[in-house]
Amino acid sequence: MSRKQQLLKRHRRNKRLGLLVALVLLIVVGVLVAWWLPLVLAVVAWVAHEAWFADHLFYSPNDDYQYSFPPYTAQPKVRLDGDRLLLDDGVMLADDTTLILALRVKSTWLGRFIDPLVTLIGGDHPDRQTFERGVNGLRYLNLSGQAPVLSQGQLRVRGRFCRVLGEPVLWSFEQPDYRQQRVMVIAPHADDAELAAFGLYSQAADTWIVTLTAGEIEAGHYQQMGLNAVEASRLKGRLRAWDSIAVPRWAGVPEAQCVQLGYFCLQLPAMQAAPHQPVGSREADLVDVRPFRQLNAFALPADLDGQPTWNNLLADLRALLLKARPEVIVLPHTSLDPHPDHICAQQAVLEALNGLEWQPAAVLGYANHLHDNDRWPMGDSGAGIALPPVFDPAQVLHPYCLSLSIEQQRDKAMALGMMHDLQPPAPFKRRLRRGLQRVLAGRSGSPYGENEFFRKAVRRHELFWRL
């Protein structure tokens, strides 16, 4: 069982226990006070739960994030003068530097009900970065894109529904401009490349998009059209295979450099466990990957027999790596992103690279999901991305941040809007919850679309980690 599954299991167990205790208390109130009072209290409690306690947050907001960065990372001296963040005299920061600022954030009493955020004011690119309700601990702001304002002594750091405390500590990460290199993005599913790296791959000198699975499962939306489960799954797989080839064209990626491997969703772990054994689709009644890779511009090793095996996946990846010869590979970061297909995607690429005659100059990791906080990145579309929760100081992480203009953010939103998996409407309960959160918790949706990924992914930053 993965850590994510363990956390969810514990969360659900605690929730059931809490509901049982609440039920007993309501019965007691009904007997001792009035029969109708438990009904009113139950409605009030449910509304409060949906507005303020429905987030999957598997740690205390009082916990300190615990980051370790590479040794010898530059640490320019900074101080807070009121709300102004000042560098030592004479220090100038390069515009494209990734800047991370550690400070303590403590919510006000209102910050327990409305998301607390820190605003970065000064210059032409104000930003705000949001944290957990009730936050009271060490957090890491992302100041990437603020280097000119900070160098000029004009950057102001202010809390809304929270206060910033303690001595700030700044890290400065200088790195190559990966946009000038040949980039290959590994996407476990159609839309992973766009969620994590549309800004990077749309600006790269040369880009390849490699999607590992057809993403054919959970096709209930298509069953509403009168299809049975198998037909719906196959239609969804065909649509997402099309998306993986067609949508990158919006960013100028040549069609011949968009590749769909057609393996089956959530079956990569089973394939890895038995490398020679074919593992068919859970829902599409298929044990052949070729129906979902018909749009590829060239043949791959697994086209010979179509078998969904780990060995075939490795052979496909080796052929692609030798053909594309990427200088930068972008793939999931397994210690941050717990999705089983994402973990296997990274492991497959690293295994394929082992002993291969071509090796990339850099490997960047991304996280489209988290173990500890399902809402991260917190805050609104267009805002910056603060660093995610990390509680293992033994893990050394090296962030790389790319800033996106508002025009680039809009293009990214349109690319996500073309993805069929992000188009179906949300279930009624989720829409009701979001309505309550807008009214009671001050949250707002994304102007680009209803799906939660429009809020999470369309930001002024794309955040990666050098592996």
Average pLDDT value for residue range 370-398: 94
Supply the pTM of this predicted model: 0.93
pLDDT exceeds 90 at position 229? yes
**pLDDT for residue 412:** 98
Counting residues of the chain whose pLDDT is more than 70, the rounded percentage is 96
Average pLDDT value for the chain: 93
Looking at mean pLDDT, say which of 56-70, 271-285, 427-441 comes out highest: 271-285
What pLDDT is recorded for position 181? 97
Query: 336-339 — which CB contacts under 8 Å span 24+ positions?
Result: 336/365, 336/367, 336/370, 336/371, 336/388, 336/390, 336/465, 337/365, 337/366, 337/367, 337/368, 337/369, 337/370, 338/2, 338/3, 338/4, 338/369, 338/370, 338/371, 339/188, 339/368, 339/369
Looking at the domain that runs over 78-173, which CATH code has it been given? 2.60.120
How does residue 171 score in pLDDT terms, banded at 50, 70 and 90?
A: very high
Residue 6 has pLDDT above 70, yes or no: no
Tell me the per-residue pLDDT of 29-56, one tens digit each, with 9 for 90 and over.
Answer: 676 777 777 787 888 888 988 999 888 8
pLDDT tens readout for residues 58-88:
889 999 999 999 999 999 999 999 999 999 8
For residue 235, pLDDT beyond 60: yes
> pLDDT grade, residue 401 (50/70/90)?
very high
pLDDT tops 80 at residue 403: yes
Residue 262 or residue 50, greater confidence: 262
Quick check: 4 pLDDT over 60? no
pLDDT at 41: 81
Instruction: For residue 92, name the pLDDT band (cuts at 50, 70, 90).
Output: confident
Between 46 and 385, residue with greater pLDDT? 385
Once rounded to an integer, what is the mean pLDDT over residues 214-230?
A: 96
Percent of the chain residues past pLDDT 90, beyond the cut: 83
- 254, pLDDT greater than 70: yes
Q: Does residue 12 surpass a pLDDT of 70?
A: no
> What pLDDT score was predicted for residue 11?
60
Of residues 9 and 398, the one with the higher pLDDT is 398
- 179-466 adopts what CATH topology? Rossmann fold (3.40.50)
- Banded pLDDT at 411 (limits 50, 70, 90): very high
